[in-house]
Amino acid sequence: MQRNGGMGGGGGQPWVFRRVRLTWLSFMLFFILVFFPLIAHYYLTTIDEAGGPDKRIFGPRPGGELCEAKHVQDLCRIRESVSEELLQLEAKRQELNGEIARLNLRIEACKRSIDSAKQDLLQLKNVISQTEHSYKELMAQNQPKLSLPVRLVPDKDDPGLPPPKSARACRLRSCFDYARCPMTSGFPVYVYDTGSYPWGENIDPLVKQAFAASVKSNIYVTDNPSIACLYVVLVGELQELPGSPQPPPSDLEKQLRQLPYWRSDGHNHLLVHLSRKSLTQNFLYNVSTSRAAVAQSTFLEGQYREGFDLVVSPLVHALSEPNFLEVPPQVPVKRKYLFTFQGEKVESLRSSLLEAPPQSFEEEIEGDPPADYDDRIIGTLKAVQDSHLDQVLVEFTCKNRPRPSLPTEWALCGEREERLEVLKVSTFSLVIAPGDGQLIASAGCGMRLFEALEVGAIPVVLGDHSKLPYHHLIRWSEAVIIVPKPRITELHFLLRSLSDNDLLAMRRQGRFLWETYFSTSETVFGTILASIRTSIQVPAAPIREEPAQEIPHKAGKLAGTDANMADNGDLDLGPVETEPPYASPRFLRNFTYTASDLYRTWNRPPGPFHLFPHTPFDPVLPSEAKFLGSGTGFRPIGGGSGGSGREFQAALGGNTPREQFTVVMLTYEREEVLMNSLERLNGLPYLNKVVVVWNSPKPPSDDLIWPDIGLPIVVVRTEKNSLNNRFLPWDAVETEAILSIDDDAHLRHDEIMFGFRVWREARDRIVGFPGRFHAWDVNHQSWLYNSNYSCELSMVLTGAAFFHKYYAYLYSYVMPQAIRDMVDEYINCEDIAMNFLVSHITRKPPIKVTSRWTFRCPGCPQALSHDDSHFHERHKCINFFVKVYGYMPLLYTQFRVDSVLFKTRLPHDKTKCFKFI
């Protein structure tokens, strides 16, 4: 074992020595590699620092002494080579960085080009789609466009019409020559001079003077009798002169036949008898008028020819104009007296005034019919007065001598001013029809009706056999309560059961009828002609437009599009129309307004006196009609299948055919602000043109360069500086939709497009952005204008709002002149006036869109609205307008409109209608 162990120990020694030797070599190698460079570096550094500048080894040495040593020259060459390579690499790196930057720019440009190409492709697809629609519409039109009908021309000899069985049987179809009145004739009317026939000298001078003034101002009157459709003869009212009795019927007939254009039977003639007094003798009763129609206030049943003769209102204001500011307000609804009646029946009061109560109508009807219901009416009304359940005023005897009246008619008491004072405190006014059932219309009842409507007392007509003025056209049940006389015992209950809403609606409708048809001599004469014209189905004369006197201007470079103004994400705001701007269709419903839409034409403002190119009340087709034969002009979303953002923005959709809108911008000597505002309209879809109303007497600067936005900019010169010019119906505006905007209002394109789409669904209302409201001042019992943030509003400022051009006509030509005068006086309140007008016509509040409440214009001059007096003037305007209208027409609304998919979570493959709305 020892031998084995020794042998084992001796055999392992070489391995140990080798291991020790390897360790020593490793240590030495480590020492050389680590410590030697450090020592050398220290030594060289020390020597370099200890020597002078000329003894340094690594410092710069003159004459290249460092490179004299051969072993250093290689190192220098290597250093120089490396330095050059490094410089080359740095230059290469910089070159590559520049190339990368250029490529990045090209990539971004390519991306923009791709996006632009996508947009162009989308727009091109939309244009192709629009063109396909237009082509299909043209190919689908199986009928040519309407042209004027062949004009009816009367025979030169004018042999007349076949005679009717009797003059009492005259109707339009048998006694009126339609050949003289084509639909396109314009309804020319020839009025005889009162001096051309003998009895004209006996006509009341006031009536003649008022009639002559009305004829002079009427647009239908012509001096050429050969083209006339209608011939008007003023036959009364005759003045009562002592010792000059009325001419006998035979003389009147002879004088009528001697009229130069009577043509043997008087066809197409109208005999007008205007009454100024409650007692107007019916002197035409026994006169044969042949085929001439009669228009007067008094008719007997056997005399009146239904559908041919006219029951007209009396001429109360012959020469004087009614003062609308003196008309009492329509509220409070309930007045001091529930109802009033003042009158006296001169012939026979019989037992009417006795205190004993009358027998009931049931008892009387069971026996013989009563000869005169008026006795029972008197007894019943006196019983209501004595019951003191309600405060009523009934007087059956006049304090002074009663006004003259016809037999069986209730005479008027006192003077007109005295009667009006009583009616001003009356909720209802009783109008008792004449006891004679044959007297279907009388001047006395007409006077009572006129006075009641004038001051807002709701007329209650006792007697359903009475014929009210123009009863075949006016729906009197909306303004008058007509009760048969046998229901007199139920009258008190009936009047008390009416709600305040119904009462105010009737009072407001009565005010409209009085103002429109009865208030002045011009309206009386105009209503007579309008009634005849409507009966023979001739459209009214088109309402006039304001001619635009364009100011020449020069356009400069193409305007750019502000990205902030047009940003809607990845969606286009609408198809770019390649065809020229197209106007809205005009006068498509001329015959409809005249023949089919009689109710609205005659019973809603503004009445039948004008023909409008278009209105916001035109009927809407059902949804399937656009796909089944009536799709001309419609652009349904997704072709009818609907869709989200992309499909929505590609077409207008909605319930009406495609259309455009016109921007009307009012400006006054703010050229820079105006130019900036015009530039912001560049690229706006569905824009037809821009009409700039230059409200300054000073013309634009000669060197002013106007932006080229790709659409017409019409600069209109005005006669004077007036805010009313904003709403003039300029003939340059060829679209139904108008965007009224101030020159300093900032609106994004998507906001404008959203407002336009909303307006298309509410065409009869103002659709805009800044909202305001009217507030009640409890301390002063009046109205205040308020612009504070509120959850309820009633006005939308027209400095940024859509409205229908129809309201521009009404504002300029129909709205009371006193309102426009106040706008000119204060240079303020035109937007309030327009809100009043639209709410009065529609009885609806405006619509506010988006969250905007104010507009900020950085750098713009201070506006008039910043003046302290601005709000005080607007307070006064509101209360003045209420006085003119008779009530507060503004209505509150508690919502605003946003797009359908606003704040709605959508799948990744769907997009919203608008990005920010």
Tokens of 493: 């209950």
pLDDT above 50 for 574: yes
pLDDT above 50 for 264: yes
CB hemisphere CA count around 853 (13 angstroms): 10
Q: What mean pLDDT is predicted for residues 125-152?
A: 62
User: What per-residue confidence (pLDDT) applies to 357?
Assistant: 44
Active-site entry in 193, 702, 831, 867? 831
Q: Which residue has the higher pLDDT, 710 or 24?
A: 710
pLDDT above 90 for 575: no
Helix 443-455 and helix 500-513: axis angle, to 10°? 120
The pLDDT-based confidence of 606 (bands split at 50, 70, 90) is: very high
3-state secondary structure 688-715: EEEEEEECCCCCCCCCCEEEECCCCEEE
pLDDT above 60 for 228: yes
pLDDT above 50 for 304: yes
pLDDT tens-digit series, residues 249-262? 788 889 999 999 99
**Residue 848 burial by Cβ neighbours in a 10 Å radius (0-12, 13-18, 19+):** buried
pLDDT tens-digit series, residues 157-192? 555 556 677 767 888 988 999 988 988 888 999 999
Which one, of 417, 394, 413, lies nearest residue 405 by Cα? 413
Tokens of 10: 């001796």
Q: Taking the chain, what is the end-to-end CA distance rounded to the nearest angstrom? A: 104
Which one, of 573, 892, 623, lies nearest residue 751 by Cα? 573
Q: What are the residue ranges of helices labelled H in 486-636? A: 491-497, 500-513, 521-535, 563-566, 590-591, 598-603
Rounding to the nearest 10 degrees, give the CA dihedral for residues 170, 171, 172, 173. -100
User: What per-residue confidence (pLDDT) applies to 557?
Assistant: 66
pLDDT above 50 for 364: no
pLDDT tens-digit series, residues 766-823? 999 999 999 999 999 999 999 999 999 999 999 999 999 999 999 999 999 999 999 9
pLDDT tens-digit series, residues 823-846? 999 999 999 999 999 999 999 999
Report pTM.
0.83
User: What per-residue confidence (pLDDT) applies to 436?
Assistant: 83
The pLDDT-based confidence of 58 (bands split at 50, 70, 90) is: very low
Burial string for 69-106 (b: 16+ CB within 10 Å, else e) reads eeeeeeeeeeeeeeeeeeeeeeeeeeeeeeeeeeeeee
Tokens of 869: 């007096």
User: What per-residue confidence (pLDDT) applies to 826?
Assistant: 94
User: What per-residue confidence (pLDDT) applies to 16?
Assistant: 57
State the Cα–Cα distance between residues 675 and 705, nearest whole angstrom: 8
Q: What mean pLDDT is predicted for residues 268-272?
A: 95
Q: Which residue has the higher pLDDT, 558 or 708?
A: 708
Which one, of 448, 431, 421, lies nearest residue 337 by Cα? 421
User: What per-residue confidence (pLDDT) applies to 158?
Assistant: 55
pLDDT tens-digit series, residues 844-898? 999 999 887 776 655 555 555 556 788 999 999 999 999 999 999 999 999 999 8
Question: How many residues can be counted in the chain?
Answer: 917
The pLDDT-based confidence of 395 (bands split at 50, 70, 90) is: very high
Q: What mean pLDDT is predicted for residues 194-206?
A: 88
Tokens of 265: 């039977």
pLDDT tens-digit series, residues 71-84? 778 788 888 888 88
Q: Which residue has the higher pLDDT, 131 or 500?
A: 500
Average pLDDT, the chain: 84
State the Cα–Cα distance between residues 510 and 459, nearest whole angstrom: 9
User: What per-residue confidence (pLDDT) applies to 638?
Assistant: 83
Among the ranges given (288-292, 331-335, 367-371, 499-503), the one the predictor scored with the smallest mean pLDDT: 367-371
Q: Which residue has the higher pLDDT, 896 or 373?
A: 896
Among the ranges given (10-24, 738-752, 886-900), the one the predictor scored with the smallest mean pLDDT: 10-24
**What values do phi and psi take at 337, rounded to 5?**
-105, 140
Tokens of 578: 């390649």
pLDDT above 80 for 124: no
Give the full edge-to-edge strand order of the sheet including 293-296.
189-191, 230-236, 269-273, 293-296, 310-311
Tokens of 376: 């029972």
The pLDDT-based confidence of 342 (bands split at 50, 70, 90) is: very high
How many other C-beta atoms can be found within 10 angstroms of the C-beta atom of residue 285? 13
User: What per-residue confidence (pLDDT) applies to 244?
Assistant: 63
Residue 193 catalytic?
A: no
Secondary structure letter of residue 399 according to DSSP: S
State the Cα–Cα distance between residues 370 and 488, nearest whole angstrom: 14
Which helix H or strand E contains 300, and what residues bound it?
strand 299-300
3-state DSSP percent of the chain in helix, strand and coil, to 5: 40, 15, 45
Among the ranges given (403-417, 551-565, 664-678, 845-859), the one the predictor scored with the smallest mean pLDDT: 551-565
User: What per-residue confidence (pLDDT) applies to 3?
Assistant: 40
User: What per-residue confidence (pLDDT) applies to 348?
Assistant: 42
Q: Reduced to 3 states, what is the DSSP secondary structure of residue 647?
A: helix
- Asked if residue 882 lies in contact with residue 888, where contact means CB atoms within 8 angstroms, the answer is yes
State the Cα–Cα distance between residues 612 and 736, nearest whole angstrom: 11
Amino acid identity of residue 451, one-letter, is: E
User: What per-residue confidence (pLDDT) applies to 273?
Assistant: 94
